[in-house]
Amino acid sequence: MTKKVVVLGEAREGALRNVSFEAIAAAKKISGGGEVVGVLLGDAVQSLADEMIHYGADRVITVEHPHLKQYTSDGFSQAFMAVYEQENPEAVVFGHTALGKDLSPKIASKLASGLISDVTAIEGEGDDAVFIRPIYSGKAFEKVKNKNGLLFITIRPNNIAPLNHDTSRSGDKSSVSVDITNLRTIIAEVVRKSTEGVDLSEAKVVVAGGRGVKSEEGFAPLQELATLLGGAIGASRGACDANYCDYSLQIGQTGKVVTPDLYIAAGISGAIQHMAGMSNSKVIVAINKDPEATIFKVADYGIVGDLFEVIPMMIEEIKKL
């Protein structure tokens, strides 16, 4: 049976996050040839609707309201429910992002539905779709099937390839108006820390430093390498606890989960809590002066050496390319 699948697109600073396009690809599989409906919530998101269609959404519904300028779970759940009630889909796909992790269980529980979270791959299509998700901090994967009824899933960024961007795709665009009331929180202003460059959770290359980096200044060569490779900088909790960098860079069980094409771990021992956030990276390069460091067990390439010698050598070689 084909399904109607609703996908929540995520906008940040006037652009859609990649995970929105990956979610459309996931929705296509779940729909089994049915309809994929993109949903955009915000205060000015209509201009992003075409992008969802070019990535494969059959049509897009926008909900605009001044209270949707910043994410609040109250505001977004009211807006999303208005679309849900109009569309009555068989399945809903969110990104496994900070927003998706907050909103999806709230809506799924409101609708007395289950939720398959943190999906990294989908086998099969339509009713036969099987969802693959990591368990035990990434040490194993389980395969889950939706028995029946409404299906909610969140997909981990950087795992499901988006469809090709095709500007010849066309689709209907409409809007739903909502009266957003009873907000427990109204966000007056968001003051962002200056975040230069690539978003860590969606980066294709991550250069992460640990306590072995030894100081805030020690992160400079890692930053240079990340910039050269078009990637983002990350860190272990050891490095964050030691004040070498901000907690927003922390990767691991209590930090961000990343799945880049290339993960370079410098001066990181490989504690299980760190590996929970990076062990599914496609290629892992570890640089550590201790040949017995646990990180080498998950590394595809291990370099036993001083990171302050190895990283400048890597930078020099990459600059020659």
The closest of 124, 144, 122 to 135, measured between CA atoms, is 144
CB-based contact 263:281 (threshold 8 Å): yes
- Smallest distance, Å, CB 208 to ligand FAD? 9
Q: How many helices (H) and strands (E) does the chain have?
A: 9, 17
Q: How far is the CB of 303 from ligand FAD (least distance, A)?
A: 9
Q: At what angle do helices 220-228 and 307-320 cross, to 10 degrees?
A: 30
Quick one: how far is CA 302 from the chain centroid? 27
CA distance 117 to 151: 11
171/277 with CB nearer ligand FAD: 277
Residue 21 belongs to what H/E stretch? helix 18-31
Minimum CB separation from ligand FAD for residue 134, in Å? 15
The nearest distance, CB 136 to ligand FAD, in angstroms, is: 15
Q: Which of 2, 137, 227, 253 binds ligand FAD (CB under 6 A)?
A: 253
Classified as helix, coil or strand, 45 is coil
Cβ proximity to ligand FAD: between 98 and 130 the closer is 98
Q: In this complex, which beta carbon is closest to ligand FAD, that of residue 227 or of residue 273? A: 273
Question: Is 274 marked as a binding-site residue?
Answer: yes
> Is 31 part of any known ligand binding site?
no
280 neighbors 300 (Cβ within 8 angstroms): no
Instruction: Give the separation between CA 281 and CA 165, rounded to whole angstroms.
Output: 24
273 labeled binding residue: yes
Cα–Cα distance, 111 to 319 (Å, whole number): 54
* Residue (76 or 296) nearer to ligand FAD, CB: 296
32 annotated to a ligand binding site: no
Cβ 291 to ligand FAD shortest distance, Å: 9
| Closer CB to ligand FAD, 258 or 287, in the complex | 287
Annotated binding residue 192: no
Looking only at residues 279 through 318 of this chain, which bind ligand FAD when binding is defined by CB under 6 A?
A: 287-290, 293, 306-308
| Residue 211 in the binding site for ligand FAD (CB under 6 A) | yes
Nearer to ligand FAD, 9 or 238 (CB): 238
DSSP string, 57-102: -SEEEEEE-GGGSS--HHHHHHHHHHHHHHH--SEEEEESSHHHHH
Binding residue positions for FAD = 211, 236-237, 250-254, 267-274, 288
Query: What residue ranges bind ligand FAD (CB under 6 A)?
Result: 210-212, 236-239, 250, 252-255, 267-269, 271, 273-274, 277, 287-290, 293, 306-308
